[in-house]
A and B are shown apart, each in its own frame.
Chain A
Amino acid sequence: MQPTEGAIPESCRPAEAAAAPDFAQIYEEHGRQVYYVALRMLSDPTQAEDATHDVFVKVFRNLDRFRGESCIRTWLYRITMNHCQNMLKSWQHRHIHPSSDDALWEVQEGPDESPLEVLETTELGARIQKTLDALPLEYRKLLLLVADEELSYEKIAQITEQSTDAVRGKLHRARKAFAQAFRTTA
């Protein structure tokens, strides 16, 4: 079915325009993205779980303050990135480093996955994490945001509070840096 002209995508519909977006629906639609960004920013599944929990509690408490000037996902990403950045700063301050225990990267086998696919995914996830950890935080954030198909450069610029041109330029360098660092993880 063709979308109605001018229709705002479900995930980018401001809270005011949508029919009373309820919290459960927001969690269902965006929870995975929030957890993934937290995981790849913090490099620790347990900390990412805690961060995602805290982000959604914060969202629940502030939902009535959401002014609908940006889409919900943009708002969520901003909260998530600020929260994770604060956690990272606090760790640096206390000299705490996230766990690098390989067991944490174990992937649950899905019903349709062969063991080989699980093995590949596990390896890929670990290599991606290692690569992202080697990049400056700003590159890491931009790459995680651009991987979301629903975010335009303009929205990434809003989240990271810089111009669209700056986002474009930094992303170009971030992609190159990622590709270079990825090679070293083989």
Chain B
Amino acid sequence: MKPNTPKDKSVSPPTPNAMSQDATQELQQTLTFETVEGMLSYDRSETPIPEALTRKLKESLPDQPLKPLVQEASKSDRQNNK
């Protein structure tokens, strides 16, 4: 199993797995991640899903009761990123 890496983002300094503080000074004023996967997980939750996707799939599979994909709830309190 994966080690129990922290998935939530916080204001603590990044680990060697994350980006260096100097290199991302500008970004860290607002967003700080402890791990690369934490950053990607946040990115996934913030990435908009095109509405056309469900529409197109419904056209291909008209009998399927597909609902539009909703925005993923952020896994952690976004205020912690500030």
Contacts and interface: CB of A to CB of B under 8 A. Distances in A.
Interface of B: 1-2, 7, 16-20, 23-24, 26-27, 30-31, 35-37, 39-44, 46-50, 52-54, 56-57, 60-61, 64-67, 69, 71-72, 75, 78
Interface string A154-186: 100000000000000000000110110011001
B67 A149 contact: no
Give chain A's interface secondary structure class: helix
Contact of A124 (B17, B23, B27, B41): B27
Nearest to A118: B46
Contacts of A23: 61, 64
Sort A-B residue pairs by CB-CB distance and give the 4 closest, nearest first.
A183-B23, A147-B40, A147-B37, A36-B44
Contacts of B23: 182-183, 186
Nearest to A164: B1
6 contacts: A49-B50, A123-B27, A143-B37, A176-B17, A179-B17, A182-B23
Contacts of A121: 46
Interface residues of A, number: 47
A179 B16 contact: yes
Contacts of B42: 124
A153 B56 contact: no
